[in-house]
Amino acid sequence: MELLLLPQWFVVVATTIVIIISSFYSFYPSKYGKKQKVAPHAGGGWPIIGHLFLIRGPEPLHLTLSKMADQNGPIFTVQLGTRRGLIVNSHEMAEECLKTNDVAFSNRQRTAAMSLMGYNFAMFGFSNYGAYWREMRKIAVLRLLSNRKVAALAWSREVQVRAMNKQCYNSMPNVDMKRVLGDLTLSMMVRTVAGDVEARMGEEERERWRRSVRDFFKMMTVHTISDAVPCLGWMDRFGKMERAFIDTGKEFDTMLQGWLQEHKDTWNGAREDDDFMNEMLDAAHTATQEFPHYDADTINKAMCLTMIVGGSETTAAVLTWALTLLLNNRHTLKKAQEELDIHVGRERLVNESDLENLAYIRAVIKETTRLQPPVPVIPREAGVDCLVAGYHIPAGTRLFINNWKIQRDPRVWADPLEFRPERFLTSHKDIDFQGLHFELLPFGGGRRVCPAVSSARRFAELALASFLQGFDVDTSSGEPIDMAAGFGTTNMIFSPIQVCLKPRMSPIHYA
C-alpha cells in the first residue's frame, strides 16, 4: 500500500490524540479494560504512524512482512496508526483465520480510495460482510460464474487467445510479452463483462480506457490520513488525494455508464451466453428492492467493475510469471511443449476441451501461483473479537495473511524456492487452489475466496497452452529474466518480458 505523507501541522494536531488512543488499545485490548493474552508485537515502529513507514514501499509488502516474520515468528502484530495489524505467516494460523474464525475475519478494510472510486463500497469485493455482500456474492457465483455460464463463454476465451497469437505472429520476432499478456487479460475481462465494446473503439479511445484501468489499480493501493487515523478523516479534504480518487472514479464510471446504456438499448432478456452486463440488468433490478440505498445502475456497474478489477491484473500476473519461470527453467518449457505435441499436435489449434489432457500445463499454473501468488498478501479485518493461536484479537484488527511466505514453507514444500511443476503431479497432486488447502491460497480462502477461481484457471491454462503451441520462445538477450517484483496489491514482475519468437505451426493458424 502507498501512504499519503503526513504534513507537519497534522503531526502537531494529532500526536496527543493518537498516542492516548493507541496506548489504551495496546495495553487494554478488551473493551472492558481487562488485559488479555495478546500476540507478540513487532518492534521498530515510529510514534503516531507505527509501522506504516515499513509497509508503504518501495519494497513489495510480502517481502517486507517476510523479513519481519523471520525476526518475530509466524504470528505477530504491528501498529498502523490507531489500528493494529495481525500478520500471519504459517498455514496453521491461516487455517485458524480463514476456517475457524472465517466469519470473524470476513470484513474488508474500508479505505477512502474504495469509498470514492468503488461506488461507496457497492463493489462487493470491497464491502463488509453482511446481507448485501451475501446477495452480491450469490449473484456472482450462481449467475455470472456458474459452470454453465463459464462453459457458454468458452468461445469468447478461445477468440481472445487466437487474437493474442495473431498479434504475436505479426509482431515477430521481438515482443514484449508483459504488455501482450496484460492486454489479453484486460480485453478478455471487458469482453466477458460488456461484450464486444472494445471492437467498436478507436485506438485513442481504447488507450484511454486502458489508462483508466491502470490508474484505478494504482489508486487502489493509496492510503490516506483517514485510513491510518479514522477520526481525522475530515483532513483528507485538504489534500489532493481525495480529488484524485473522485476524478479516477468518475472517468471509469463514464465508460461503464456508456457501456451499460448500450446494453439497455438492445436488451431483450438474458440468455446463457450473454455478457455480465446483460445478465445483471435483471439481477440488479431485483437487488434494488432489497437494497434501495443503491440503484440498479450502480449495482450493475459496481459488479462489472469488481469483475474487471478482480480478473484482469491477477490473471495477467499469473501468465507473466508462468512464462518467466518457464524461460528461466528451460527443461520445464520443453516438457510443456512436448505434452502439447503429444495430446494436440501442430495441425490444429488447442481448445478448452483439450485442457483435461494437459496435466503438465495445469501443474505449471499451480506451481506458478505457489511461487508467485498473484495476491501475495490476503487482507481482511476482524468484525468481532476472536482468538487466534490463543491470542485475543480485538474487533477492528486488520489481518494480513502472508501467502507468499506460507507457500514457500520448507515444512510443506520440498526445495520450496525451486520451480518444480512435477510436485503437483506426484507429492502434492491432491492440493488445489480452491481455498480449501491452506498451504496454497493464491486466490484467498474462506467465504471470501475469489469466486472466479475456476474460470481464471481455465483461461490461464488455455492462454499458456495456446502460446506455447504456437511459438518457440527465447529471451531477446539470451539471459535469464530478472525476477524482481514491483510494488502493488497484485504481485507483478517489474521488468518488461522481451522475448524472441519463432512460429511452430503453419501460417494459416495465425490468420
For the stretch 74-86, pLDDT in tens is 999 999 988 899 9
**Percent of the chain whose pLDDT exceeds 70:** 91
Give residue 32's pLDDT band: very low, low, confident or very high (50, 70, 90): very low
The helix-helix angle for 276-290 and 296-327 (nearest 10°) equals 130
Give residue 470's pLDDT band: very low, low, confident or very high (50, 70, 90): very high
Please write down the long-range contacts of 141-147, taking CB distance under 8 Å and 24 or more positions apart. Answer: 141/451, 143/279, 143/283, 144/276, 144/279, 144/280, 144/303, 144/307, 145/451, 145/452, 145/454, 145/455, 147/454
In this model, does residue 24 exceed pLDDT 50?
no
What contacts 425, CB < 8 A, 6 or more positions away?
359, 360, 363
Give residue 288's pLDDT band: very low, low, confident or very high (50, 70, 90): confident
- Cα 257 to chain centroid, rounded: 24
Give residue 374's pLDDT band: very low, low, confident or very high (50, 70, 90): very high
Domain ranges in the chain are 2-510
**Which of 179-183, 305-309, 431-435 is predicted with the least confidence, judged by mean pLDDT?**
431-435
Q: Residue 121 — left, alpha, or beta (φ > 0 → left; ψ -120 to 50 → alpha)?
A: left
Give residue 270's pLDDT band: very low, low, confident or very high (50, 70, 90): low
**Percent of the chain whose pLDDT exceeds 90:** 66
In this model, does residue 27 exceed pLDDT 80?
no
First-to-last C-alpha distance (Å) of the chain: 43
pTM above 0.85, yes or no: yes
CB atoms within 10 A of CB 330: 11
Q: What is the pLDDT at residue 385?
A: 97
Residue carrying the nine cell digits 490507531:
82
DSSP H helices in 40-128: 52-55, 61-72, 91-95, 112-117
- Cα 79 to chain centroid, rounded: 25
Q: In 3D, which of 353, 294, 23, 355 has the Cα closest to residue 135?
A: 294
In this model, does residue 101 exceed pLDDT 90?
yes
**Contact yes or no for 107/396 (Cβ under 8 A):** no
Q: What is the mean pLDDT of the chain?
A: 89
Q: What is the pLDDT at residue 497?
A: 94
What contacts 263, CB < 8 A, 6 or more positions away?
194, 195, 275, 277, 278, 281
Q: What is the pLDDT at residue 208?
A: 83
Specify the fold of 2-510. Cytochrome p450 (1.10.630)
What contacts 474, CB < 8 A, 6 or more positions away?
327, 499, 500
Give residue 325's pLDDT band: very low, low, confident or very high (50, 70, 90): very high
β-strand partners of 241: none
- Give mean pLDDT, residues 100-128: 93
Q: What is the pLDDT at residue 26?
A: 46
pLDDT tens column, 151-197: 888 988 999 999 999 999 999 999 999 999 999 999 999 999 999 88
**Which of 41-50, 224-233, 338-347, 492-501 is predicted with the least confidence, judged by mean pLDDT?**
224-233
In this model, does residue 25 exceed pLDDT 60?
no
Which of 26 and 178 is assigned the larger pLDDT? 178
Number of H helices, E strands in the chain: 18, 11
In this model, does residue 146 exceed pLDDT 50?
yes
* Three cell numbers, residue 151: 462453459
DSSP class of 510: G
pLDDT tens column, 378-399: 999 999 999 999 999 999 999 9
In this model, does residue 15 exceed pLDDT 60?
no
CA gyration radius, the chain: 23
